[in-house]
Structure 1
Amino acid sequence: MTAAFAPTNSLPTMPEGWPIGSYDTYKKAQRAVDFLADNEFPVQDVTIVGVEPMLVERVSARLTWGRVLSAGAASGAWLGLFVGLLLSLFTTTGGLAPILIGMVSGIAFGLASAAVRYGATKGQRDFVSQSQLVARRYDVLSKPRNAELGRTLLMSIPQT
């Protein structure tokens, strides 16, 4: 195994190095490290550290019984279609009957399971959201042996 792909320590450790740049978005920090790599900087000495992490939950839609049941029916239909196709492979008559039976059963199962899950929440979470871990800023650190060179290179990044 090469050093570039050697496994890292699986235990959480504090980052090491001196700050050579600080950015308000991960994309800008990533761009800085890419710039360093393009300029032959030893990027294996670099770490990007998210400072002041936050869990951000972005609400994307309101949940209603109609949405819940239609999503349950759709996922049940896919599962039923898969089971129906498998059944049709192992029946002597084949045809559409096993596929239709699988789909109808899947839709019924999907509707029932979605209704039970949503009903159990008792209206406590009537929305859909996505969670994301973000930081207030992203520091780029370098091991001390190359920190000064890293700072100098990052000062020459073209601004876009």
Structure 2
Amino acid sequence: MTQQPPPSVVDRPVVGSYATYAGAQRAVDFLSDNKFPVEHTAIIGSDLRMVETVLGRLTRGRAALAGVGTGAWFGLLIGLLLSVFAAGGHNVIVLIISGIVYGAVFGAIFGFVGHALSGGRRDFASRSQIVAARYDVVADAEVAEEAKNMLIKLGWREG
């Protein structure tokens, strides 16, 4: 049995437009709760932009501290993998703890040295995300009117 490719998402009629992704998501959830076939819908973000939120200054100490956390997680993973081949329960605990400690130490060293070698470029920590100015809920043409009417008739509103 061959499946037909889905219709182009951008050619579908808009059944609702929202300022936030959460609002569009709640609208689709509302339709789902009211037994609408939501597999015929999509959420489209328009006017995309990348927003980078600066979290703070990144010093060598903070870079080393971040390296401790990353290294400890990596060390835990290595310790767990090595413990699969260890004989006896006592060796397993020693391998896991050793992996965490060595991972944290090497992570701190690599974090500190890596930041020191950056030459002062990018001395801040940040988080990036893509946001849209508007989020449209669209539906296949054959069910779009039903979706739009359902949102209006049942009194759904963003909030």
Sort the TM-score into its range (normalised by shorter chain).
Answer: 0.7 to 0.9
CA separation in 1, counterparts of 2:99 and 2:117?
27
- Count of residue pairs brought into register by the alignment: 152
Which runs of structure 2 are paired with 1:11-160 in the superposition (5 Å)?
A: 14-77=9-72, 79=74, 86=82, 89=86, 105-156=102-153, 157-159=155-157, 160=159
Q: TM-score, normalised by structure 2?
A: 0.72
* Uncovered stretches (5+) of structure 1, i.e. residues with no partner: 1-5
Q: Which runs of 5+ in 2 are unaligned?
A: none
Q: Is the 8 A contact 2:64 2:110 kept in 1?
A: no
d(CA) in 2 for partners of 1:132 and 1:44?
A: 27
C-alpha spacing 1:72/1:16, structure 2 compared with 1 (3 Å): same
Contact persistence 2:24–2:136 (CA under 8 A): yes
TM-score of the superposition, structure 1-length normalised?
Answer: 0.72
Structure 1 vs Structure 2: percent identity of aligned residues?
42
Letter in 1 for 2:146: L
- TM-align CA RMSD: 3.5
